[in-house]
Amino acid sequence: MGKYQNDAERLLKEVGGKENIKAVTHCATRMRFVLNDPDKADQEAIDDIPSVKGMFTNAGQFQVIIGNDVATFYNEFKEISGIEGTSQEDVKSVAQKKQNPLQRAVGALAEIFAPIIPAIIVGGLILGFRNILEGVDFGGATIVDRSTFWAAINDFLWLPGEAIFQFLPVGITWSVTRKMGTTQILGIVLGITLVSPQLLNANDVASTPAADIPQWDFGFAQIDMIGYQGQVIPAMLAGFLLAYLEIFFRKHIPEAVSMIFVPLFALLPTIIAAHVVLGPFGWWLGNIISNVIFAGLSSSISWLFSFAFGLLYSPLVITGLHHMSNAIDLQLIASEITDHTTSLWPMIALSNIAQGSAVLAVIYLHRGNKKEEQVSIPAMISCYLGVTEPAMFGINLKFVYPFIAAMIGSGFAGLFNNFMDVRANSIGVGGLPGILVINSQIGGGYLAFAIAMVIAIVIPFLLTVFFRKRGIFNKEDREEPEAAIAADAAASGNIDLSSTEDETTTTSAAPQVTKEKLFAPVSGQLMQITAVDDPVFSQKMMGDGYAVKPSSDKIYSPIAGTISSVFETKHAIGILTAGGAEVLVHMGLDTVELKGTPFTINVKENDQVTFDTQLATMDRKAVEDAGKQTDVLTVFTNGDKINSLSIENKAEVTAQEEIGEVEVN
């Protein structure tokens, strides 16, 4: 009998059997299924399988987290099911075919905005700080009025703020070409032509008389020289036209001259179309969207609109439709009618806080459940900082009642927020830090948003406790952990925990604890694992650990031990230490899709390694060019053996440098 035969048989049964599996593959940690009918998968039964550490659905794939030994599990699953595995790309392709046009459109929108969100977050923080410096009145004068130094800082910070938001079309056109697999520098050039200083700034168009708007005069036709600073829709339309023209001409122009004529025939017509047709149309469409949203937020039924948005935003996250709000928010900020602000983003930040507060209530209700706290505490923190997926998928949706409590609390917070006309100057800063981007001069400002945050904390917390105690919205067939039940009962005065042992007390020898030193596997920026942009790692489904954003290509062993596995795709290596810790060294995120191309492996199974052993070389440029992140992760996958993990608080580390230790029992 194979190591995972029983678990593989159970998984096959609970996903709906062989006939329900359209495609299956695996990466370094997960089984990835495309199911004919996802509703046939019994997620609670799958969650009870010993080898399963979690599951979630993403981009049409049902992903089951197994861990470091997923390759062995996968092979046994293939033998039992009789299903031949498929490649990562094939599974992704099949998954996309199962999506409807709206899902594919939303997926494309998400892929466009995801790479530029970090810049938008930084820009939002900068504008929020500038908002405090120049917008908050302290005794009749602002900070910039009182201080020459802070006035200079405020002026200087406009440089990155302008670069991010005024030149946003450059980022969008670049991201479109990146997503479409076309020439990215052409996307950058196209974006620059939309925001060139030669053009009338988009923000000045409304205040400029029609007769004073500059034009290109071709004799037979005149074209307004208008820029599209901060505009989203014109940039997206132009970016897609450029990509499709390049793809078309690649197919029809001989390769010998394609380097010259493909860029020429793709770029120039797109620039012309952008200023003659796509730009004006996109501006018109964007204004319609802005007017409709603003009308909803300022109408006599705005209370209903805002409550519904706050209530339903979290379910939108589950479906992926929330990515559409990024484009709408940015369009609102670009609009004159809204005074270049958005009312939606504050409500999104409040929804983040509400989900985190529901998790906080679960932590309170289940206090003493150490295993669950390894997921719930980091998930709560990430929620309060604006990232909700770990909390929703890891905790709230499992129990249902916290998720509904958070929705209701978010709805009331959004209603109050809209009643006080709270608006944001930018997007990207969610959760508690969202207060930094609130406009202090419109509506209730900081104070009103602070009250809305209190609503988003208190109502979800109280409702979660109430629903749990009353059994409302609770899954009746889900057993609560014993530790949680005992803690609840003790809190209610029903059980004396001190008397649960028999009078005859037995003693056992304390387990032997081994301390093992940890080292930096690569030079670069040391990160907490919760900061990694992958929910499987960041919410510690695979186990605790740490990560390094590398500044070098050479990857060394982070610990002394024996090589237990080298993945076929070369992106991950397993190490077993003398104390029994199972360590996964994972190079890059989602790099399994690169099929080993950027990696050169220097070790093999059963090799003995120490901190000075070079495990591999990772071509960072090749990883980045493929659109993947280069983070190098060190993860302890058998958490039951890990007593404690301590990592030094350093910003930068050097490869082979000692940075902490792990206790293994």
Q: How far apart are CA 557 and CA 521, in angstroms?
A: 6
Crossing angle of the two packed helices 302-319 and 401-419, in degrees rounded to 10: 140
Contact predicate 577/560, CB 8 Å:
yes
CB burial of residue 292 (10 Å; 0-12, 13-18, 19+): exposed
Q: How far apart are CA 645 and CA 333, in angstroms?
A: 44
What's the number of CA atoms in the CB half-sphere (13 Å) around residue 126?
A: 19
Which helix (H) or strand (E) segment holds residue 281: the answer is helix 279-298
DSSP 349-380: HHHHHHHHHHHHHHHHHTTT-HHHHHHHHHHH
Catalytic residues: 27
Beta bridge partners of 200: 226
What is each CA distance from 397 to 6, 314, 393, 493, in whole angstroms? 27, 11, 6, 29
User: Torsion angle of alpha carbons 98, 309, 108, 189, nearest 10°?
Assistant: 170
Contact predicate 335/287, CB 8 Å:
yes
Strand, helix or coil at 644?
A: strand
User: What 8-state DSSP symbol labels residue 36?
Assistant: S
Q: Which residue has the tokens 């190591």?
A: 3
Strand, helix or coil at 268?
A: helix
Strand, helix or coil at 58?
A: strand
Strand, helix or coil at 91?
A: helix
Strand, helix or coil at 53?
A: coil
Q: How far apart are CA 119 and CA 126, in angstroms?
A: 11
CA-atom Rg of the chain in angstroms: 27
Cα 527 to chain centroid distance, Å, stands at: 16
DSSP 129-147: HHHHHHH--BTTB-HHHH-
Q: How far apart are CA 175 and CA 597, in angstroms?
A: 23
Strand, helix or coil at 32?
A: strand
Q: How far apart are CA 172 and CA 177, in angstroms?
A: 9
Strand, helix or coil at 342?
A: strand
Look at residues 95, 84, 81 and name the one whose alpha carbon lies nearest to residue 12: 81
Cα end-to-end span (Å), the chain: 28
Crossing angle of the two packed helices 255-273 and 184-195, in degrees rounded to 10: 20
What is each CA distance from 510 to 507, 513, 665, in whole angstroms? 9, 9, 10
Cα 301 to chain centroid distance, Å, stands at: 33
Q: How far apart are CA 397 and CA 509, in angstroms?
A: 40
User: What 8-state DSSP symbol labels residue 201?
Assistant: P
What is each CA distance from 222 to 195, 267, 369, in whole angstroms? 19, 21, 71
Amino acid type, 415: L
